[in-house]
């Protein structure tokens, strides 16, 4: 165990950094994607509802691993076949796209539920004063929805952090992938995976502890 930490410690920490980088980038895009499709879903326009539902159903209906393969191998192959021979996606780019799309679909559902939890009278009051739908959303409904959404959003953060490990299959050097390399070099699978597991555990537990604190602080203001 100690020998692994001695020879591969730095590598493991760098890999953890890569994991967190991938996760944070994906989360930022997922929030944007989630917000757009959630707004589609709560809009009173049939076409927008259909767009929102199709996206959420399609992405949730495909395993992340298949989505990752599709984007990393399938999409570039298709674009190249269409004549753009120089088109490539790096493992990081493909990973962020796959994770953002996946997490974005779940985020859309969280945000939709949050918006629907806000009393309809809030938007009606805003509209009755002459404010537009967008103003009502921005100033009144979304800030109130955010409060109820925080626990689910942090839960989704944790799931996404764990999902980064799936992207080891497209060769992105995140923590799980580095774990595979170390195991290949040392043949010490028990020690290697115990260390990798504990590293995930530490980051995720601190994240959920932090989320509890944020929740408590938000509730004080009520």
Partner 1 sequence: MADKKIMVSVRNLKKSFGKLEVIKDLSVDIEEGEVVVLLGPSGSGKSTFLRCLNQLETVTDGTIEIDGVCVTDKHVDINKVRENIGMVFQHFNLFKNKNVLQNITLAPVELKIMSKTDALAKAEELLARVGLSDKADAYPAQLSGGQKQRVAIARALAMNPDIMLFDEPTSALDPEMVGEVLTVMKELAADGMTMVVVTHEIGFAREVADRILFMDGGYLVEEGTPDEILNHPKEARTIDFLNKVL
| Chain contacts with partner 1 (rule: CB under 8 A) | 119, 121-122, 124-132, 135, 139-140, 143-144, 222
Give the nearer residue to partner 1 in terms of CB position, either 126 or 195.
126
Please identify, using beta-carbon distances, which residue of 125 and 210 lies nearer to partner 1: 125
Q: Largest Cα–Cα distance in the chain?
A: 70
Closer of 132 and 185 to partner 1 (Cβ): 132
- Residue 132 beta carbon to partner 1: minimum distance, rounded to whole angstroms: 6
Torsional sign, CA 9, 194, 169, 180: positive
Least distance from C-beta 130 to partner 1, angstroms? 4
Q: What is the DSSP letter of 170?
A: G
Residue 158's closest CA among 116, 212, 83?
212
- For 42-95, where are the E strands, in sequence order? none
Q: Residue 63 corresponds to which tokens in the numbers above?
A: 């395993």
> In the complex with partner 1, which residue's Cβ is closer, 60 or 127?
127
Residue 196 CB partners (closer than 8 Å, separation 6+):
12, 175, 176, 179
Q: Which is nearer to partner 1, 57 or 124 (CB)?
A: 124
Distance separating alpha carbons of residues 90 and 108, to the nearest angstrom? 26
């Amino acid at each position: 165990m100690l020998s692994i930490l001695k020879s591969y410690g730095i590598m493991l920490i760098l890999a953890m950094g890569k994991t967190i980088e991938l996760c944070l980038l994906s989360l930022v895009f997922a929030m944007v994607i989630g917000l757009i499709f959630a707004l589609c879903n709560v809009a009173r326009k049939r076409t927008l509802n259909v767009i929102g539902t199709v996206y959420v159903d399609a992405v949730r209906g495909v395993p992340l691993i298949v989505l990752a393969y599709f984007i990393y191998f399938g999409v570039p192959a298709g674009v190249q076949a269409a004549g753009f021979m120089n088109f490539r996606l790096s493992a990081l780019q493909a990973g962020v796209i796959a994770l953002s799309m996946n997490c974005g679909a779940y985020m859309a559902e969280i945000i939709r539920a949050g918006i629907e939890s806000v009393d309809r009278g809030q938007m009606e009051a805003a509209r009755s004063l002459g404010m537009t739908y967008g103003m009502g959303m921005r100033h009144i409904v979304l800030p109130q929805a955010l409060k109820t959404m925080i626990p689910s959003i942090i839960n989704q953060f944790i799931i996404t952090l764990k999902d980064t490990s799936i992207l080891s299959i497209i060769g992105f050097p995140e923590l799980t992938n580095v774990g595979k390399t170390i195991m290949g070099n040392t043949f010490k699978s028990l020690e290697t995976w115990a260390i990798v597991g504990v590293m995930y555990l530490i980051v995720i537990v601190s994240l959920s502890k932090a989320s509890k604190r944020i929740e408590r602080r938000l509730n004080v203001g009520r």
